[in-house]
């Protein structure tokens, strides 16, 4: 190994406040949110600023997840919630933002175009600054998995962060898709950030009767018919569906409270299993440890790296 001196990377937050408005995917309600700087070690937190929210401060953390039906919802003990947070949190993860406060005047993050692209744009417009504290990672020490033969997720040790995902739908427009992404440099922005959420046209009415997808449209989701995509502009990527599932997983996993050093594998899974995976991880103190996020040579041999990424 090289004897290069290790250098701790710094925590990051936003340089200034910035706002956007849009419609909630499930509520159909118009909402405004403002993303702003936050102190060292404060993490990412939502603040409900509408009267119904009572000024509640809700950490964007795995142990505050209260619902995972078609989206990830965080809440507090008084029942104040913020839903559909996964795309925004994925943007924070992809841009390495550790600390931020999100003021929001409603119960759901706006869906924007159905991807994380608008949130990436907002964060970059606000600017990103380093803070005087070392960032830390969650190192995976042994395999943790949840699920069954139909759908499952796992975290395994690896010398870097990576995502592997496979989905399989009977609809021929999707079919079976698989993708792997190593989360280095600008990989999130390049590979995943523009992938949109998707749904099936024949399920829309049922979802709306259940109080969901009231704000969904061809402007903020890929809508799939019996044998084709109904959006006039088509797909942004040939495998946009699996890329979006990976984007969702990035948002859900960042609720761990720090970036994860390890390999994530998902098969036909979603928000519920992603949260169960984090709960299983933190329930096993032998499965993980905090380490400083440092720029240093890997302690893994070439053979170990090949095995971890096989």
Note the pLDDT tens digit of each residue in 10-19. Answer: 999 999 999 9
**How high is the pLDDT of residue 207?**
74
Note the pLDDT tens digit of each residue in 55-76. Answer: 999 999 999 999 999 999 999 9
- Among 195, 196, 199, which residue's Cα sits nearest to residue 181? 195
- Among 284, 279, 28, which residue's Cα sits nearest to residue 143? 284
Question: Hey, which residues are catalytic here?
Answer: 271
Mean pLDDT of 110-135: 97
- Among 271, 296, 233, 225, which residue's Cα sits nearest to residue 6? 296
| Other residues' Cβ atoms within 10 Å of the Cβ of residue 190 | 11
| Other residues' Cβ atoms within 10 Å of the Cβ of residue 219 | 12
Reported as a pLDDT band with limits 50, 70 and 90, residue 215 is confident
Note the pLDDT tens digit of each residue in 272-291. Answer: 999 999 999 999 999 999 99
For the chain, which domains are there?
A: 9-308 (3.30.1700.10)
């Amino acid at each position: 190994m090289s004897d290069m001196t290790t250098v701790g990377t710094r925590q990051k937050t936003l340089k200034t406040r910035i706002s956007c408005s849009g419609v909630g995917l499930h509520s159909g309600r118009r909402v405004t949110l403002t993303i702003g700087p936050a102190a060292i070690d404060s993490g990412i937190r939502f603040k409900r600023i509408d009267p119904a929210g009572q000024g509640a401060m809700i950490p964007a953390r795995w142990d505050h997840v209260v619902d995972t039906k078609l989206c990830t919802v965080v809440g507090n003990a008084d029942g104040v919630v913020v839903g559909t947070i996964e795309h925004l949190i994925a943007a924070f993860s992809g841009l390495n933002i550790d600390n931020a406060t999100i003021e929001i005047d409603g119960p759901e993050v706006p869906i924007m175009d159905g991807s994380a692209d608008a949130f990436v744009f907002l964060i970059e417009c606000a600017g990103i600054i380093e803070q005087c504290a070392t960032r830390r990672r969650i190192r995976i020490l042994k395999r943790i998995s949840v699920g069954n033969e139909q759908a499952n997720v796992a975290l395994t040790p690896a010398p870097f962060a990576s995502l592997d995902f496979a989905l399989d739908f009977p609809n021929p427009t999707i079919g079976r898709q698989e993708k792997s992404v190593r989360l280095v440099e600008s990989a999130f922005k390049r590979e995943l950030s523009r992938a949109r959420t998707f749904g099936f046209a024949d399920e829309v009415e049922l979802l709306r009767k259940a109080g969901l997808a009231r704000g969904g449209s061809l402007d903020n989701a890929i809508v799939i018919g019996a044998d084709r995509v109904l959006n006039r502009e088509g797909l942004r990527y040939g495998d946009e569906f699996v890329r979006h599932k990976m984007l969702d997983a990035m948002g859900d996993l960042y609720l761990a409270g720090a970036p994860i050093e390890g390999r994530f594998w998902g098969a036909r899974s979603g928000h519920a299993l992603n949260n169960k995976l984090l709960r299983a991880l933190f329930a096993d103190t032998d499965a993980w440890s905090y380490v400083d996020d440092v720029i240093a040579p890997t302690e893994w041999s070439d053979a170990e790296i090949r095995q971890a990424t096989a």
